[in-house]
Amino acid sequence: MWKAAVMLLPLLLCLVVAAPAQNQSAAEQHANEVFDQILESVSQSETLDPLHLPEQVASFDRTFLVRFHGEIRLYNTTLTGLSTVTRTGNCRFQMDDKGLDVLADVGVGALDLDSKAHVKFMGRGPAVDLHVHIDYVRVLLEALQVDGVMQLRRFKVQELLGFTLKINGLGPLSYMFNFFSTYFTKLFKGIVRSHVEKILSAQIEKKIRDLKLSF
């Protein structure tokens, strides 16, 4: 059904350029429906939830009179909630020298990330349990119609809302809790941003590209 609806999108997009406001509203409404169906199709992918992330090794430094080097190895990391992707605002249109731009606000969430980490610092290496919860991720989606073909131009995280982090098991390194809280917050925000953009944009781009739209 969503493919049939999208086939009508180019005709309605033309109305945005030359037609009065009521026709623009009709085009926007139809574009909303089309992108809703595309995102719904993406959300049904069995590969999204849970998403198993590869092991990752990161290093850090701390100075106590002299500089000490530490290492963190993340493993058994899963990210859940990518299938909640949905449109949260009306599609907007604009013309530029490359073609017709379609922009939409997209939301993802809630997201939960669970991971284990082996922390090595000054000869100590506890195994740590980590849990991250994010209420909502705000994303800007931009698609461009070029030579009659719709393609994804941008899928960029704008904001992470309601970020919370729980750390259990620091043991002998508990005196560095504030440091690790800041460190893991920055690390996991980067991981979540990267995977939301990379995984979902690849899915959306495939859905759009396969349609091969033309005016």
Domains of the chain, residue spans: 2-211
The CATH class for the domain spanning 2-211 reads alpha beta
Asked if 45 contacts 83 with a C-beta cutoff of 8 angstroms, the reply is yes
Residue-level pLDDT at 13: 45
At position 15, the amino acid (one-letter code) is L
Query: For 118-127, what is each residue's pLDDT tens digit?
Result: 998 877 789 9
Q: Encode pLDDT of 143-197 as tens digits.
A: 887 777 788 889 999 999 999 999 999 988 898 899 999 999 999 999 999 999 9
Q: Give the torsion through C-alpha atoms of 39, 45, 50, 55, to 10 deg.
A: -100
pLDDT at 31: 77
Task: Name the strand (E) or helix (H) holding 112.
Answer: strand 111-121
- Six-digit token string for 58: 């990161």
